[in-house]
Amino acid sequence: MKIFVIDASVVIASLTDENKKIKSYFGRLLKEARATKVKIFSLTLLPLEVANVLRYKGLINEKRDEAFKIFRQLPIIYQNLELDEISVVMKQSGETDTSVYDCAYHYLARERGGTFLTCDNKYFQKAKKLGGIEFLG
């Protein structure tokens, strides 16, 4: 079974219609996850990141609340990293000159034998050498 790990950039691009191509791709992925053909993982940090972006996105309250309601129903399996894993992620962050948060999502994908999906081109360019990552955008 294919495994994907997503970050907030993918969710936000899909929920706010920022990019029709990403919304369509993510929609197909969600359909496959609901049919148990793929698994979508993320960190337990994701809901806070999504809520924060929605908060500052300038959406009116009703649109923001509706977007978060849709997000809450997505078939995402949330996972934490252990402290030892976070130590590895911090090292990776320093080596790639990227945030610990971004590296954590990527690490989760690689450890689960999956692909990290992101719309963050800056991170992608710095970390693609690690493998297990796909840029959507």
14-33 pLDDT, tens per residue?
A: 988 778 899 999 999 999 99
Task: Give yes or no for a contact between 25 and 136, defined as CB atoms under 8 angstroms apart.
Answer: yes
pTM exceeds cut of 0.85: yes
What angle do the packed helices 46-56 and 8-15 form, to 10 degrees?
A: 50
3-class SS of residue 93: helix
Q: Which of 64, 72, 63 is nearest to 42 (CA)?
A: 72
For 64-116, how does the pLDDT look when each residue is reduced to its tens digit (9 = 90+)?
999 999 999 999 999 999 999 999 999 999 999 999 999 999 999 999 999 99
pLDDT (mean) for 109-137: 96
Q: How many CA atoms lie within 13 A of 77 on its CB side?
A: 13
Distances in Å between the Cα of 21 and the Cα atoms of 9, 17, 18, 47, 97 are 14, 9, 9, 23, 29
CATH architecture assignment, domain 2-135: 3-Layer(aba) Sandwich (3.40)
